[in-house]
Structure 1
Amino acid sequence: MIKQALIGEFMHEAENTRKLLSMITDSALEYRPQPHLWSVGQLASHIAEVYNWYGPTFAQDEFDMGSYIYDKGDISKAANILEKFEENVANAKTVIENSDESQYMNTWTMSAGGNPIMPPMPKIQVIRGFLYNHLYHHRGELIAHLRATGNKVPSLYGPNYEESQRS
């Protein structure tokens, strides 16, 4: 039953993420609001990459970020990022569908080279916080970046500002 709820939210939010990533223009990829922040391309690539974390998070009780190989792919074109997203989201959906609900309450930890990064917690809490909410957070950042470049952004949870101003 929990798995069906996770899949439902996953599918709904993957579509929202797809709508957002589809609105990125190549001309916006290098924009960053401040020098220390990720560019639009880096942020969008990170969003696409988080879907790669579903496999190790669901299948293992420890995720070692120290040995994880981040694969941002070619972020020189928005279409490349969207393609990476599509590949990763399909794999993540399969991971959820094949997951074992009896493992959802297992204690899960994240480390880097044996050093804890996050406190141990039930895997279901990690799935909701580290995977799902993490993506929503970065989508919000990406929306702010895109708005600052003058690009349009999609409505995700009802009309966006532009749509609400139409008479």
Structure 2
Amino acid sequence: MHTSSFQQNILAELDHELATTRKLLERVPYDKADFQPHPKSMKLWQLASHIVNLLAFKQLFVQADSRDFLDPNGPKPGPTPSSSEELLARFDQYSASLRQALQDSDDEQLTGSFRLHRGEQTIMERPKAAAIRIMGLNHSIHHRGQLSVYLRLLDIPLPAMYGPSADEQGW
């Protein structure tokens, strides 16, 4: 009987989600960067960049025990990508770094606690594996869903995500 670890499960899920996310990001048109479906919504390019930058945040969950948003020396995302090629290159770089950090971890490390806070105020504290799944993968999937709506509103055909898309079916 084969026993699966936290690390193996997260890596398998990550691989699937990264491939799906990249397919969607490949379709984001830089010339529509300022599109926003509602005044309270992020602009298209801001949303796509946020999805990419979340990969670095997930890596932090693996490699650190906490992150204080008030720490001026804390990790911050790089400058906003200025082209589709730059966006995808950052996605590939951050994906590879996150994957390597997970491969270098083990279940003991992933059961350790991670605390996200703003000074003394705790925003979230949970085991690293749960933080990766909830604030990492699920958070990215949520924003990827938003991104798919933006693309639909721009009449850009959507790729398959969890099965064929209406565009791929010719509907």
CA RMSD after TM alignment: 1.6
Contact 2:7 2:103 in 1 (8 A): yes
Contact 2:159 2:167 in 1 (8 A): no
Number of residue pairs the alignment of both structures matches: 165
Which has the higher mean CA deviation after the structures are superposed, 54-63 or 142-151? Answer: 54-63
Q: Name the structure 1 match of 2:81.
A: 75
The amino acid across from 2:148 in the alignment is: I
Contact 1:73 1:81 in 2 (8 A): no
Following superposition, the deviation at residue 28 of structure 1 comes to 2.2
Q: Which of 104, 127, 134 lines up with 1:98 in the alignment?
A: 104
SS of alignment partner, residue 50 of structure 1: helix
* Per-residue Cα deviation, 1:34-73 (whole angstroms, up to 9, x for no partner): 1221111001100100110133211222122333443253
Q: Give the distance between the partners of 1:69 and 1:4, measured in 2 at CA.
A: 26
Q: Which of 35, 55, 73 lines up with 1:31 in the alignment?
A: 35
Counterparts of residues 118-129 of structure 1 (less than 5 Å): 118=124, 120-129=125-134
Q: Name the structure 1 match of 2:67.
A: 63
Q: Give the distance between the partners of 1:55 and 1:24, measured in 2 at CA.
A: 24
Contact 2:158 2:167 in 1 (8 A): no
Counterparts of residues 8-157 of structure 1 (less than 5 Å): 8-67=12-71, 68-118=74-124, 120-157=125-162
Following superposition, the deviation at residue 112 of structure 1 comes to 1.6
- Does residue 161 (structure 1) correspond to residue 166 (structure 2)? The answer is yes
Q: Give the distance between the partners of 2:120 and 2:49, measured in 1 at CA.
A: 27
**Structure 1 residues without counterparts, runs of 5 or longer:** none
Q: Give the distance between the partners of 1:104 and 1:159, measured in 2 at CA.
A: 34
Contact 1:65 1:113 in 2 (8 A): yes
SS of alignment partner, residue 158 of structure 2: coil
**Structure 2 residues without counterparts, runs of 5 or longer:** none
Runs in 1 of length 4+ with deviation above 6 angstroms?
Answer: none
The amino acid across from 2:66 in the alignment is: E
The amino acid across from 1:94 in the alignment is: Q
SS of alignment partner, residue 110 of structure 1: strand
Percent of aligned pairs with the same amino acid: 28
Following superposition, the deviation at residue 144 of structure 1 comes to 0.5
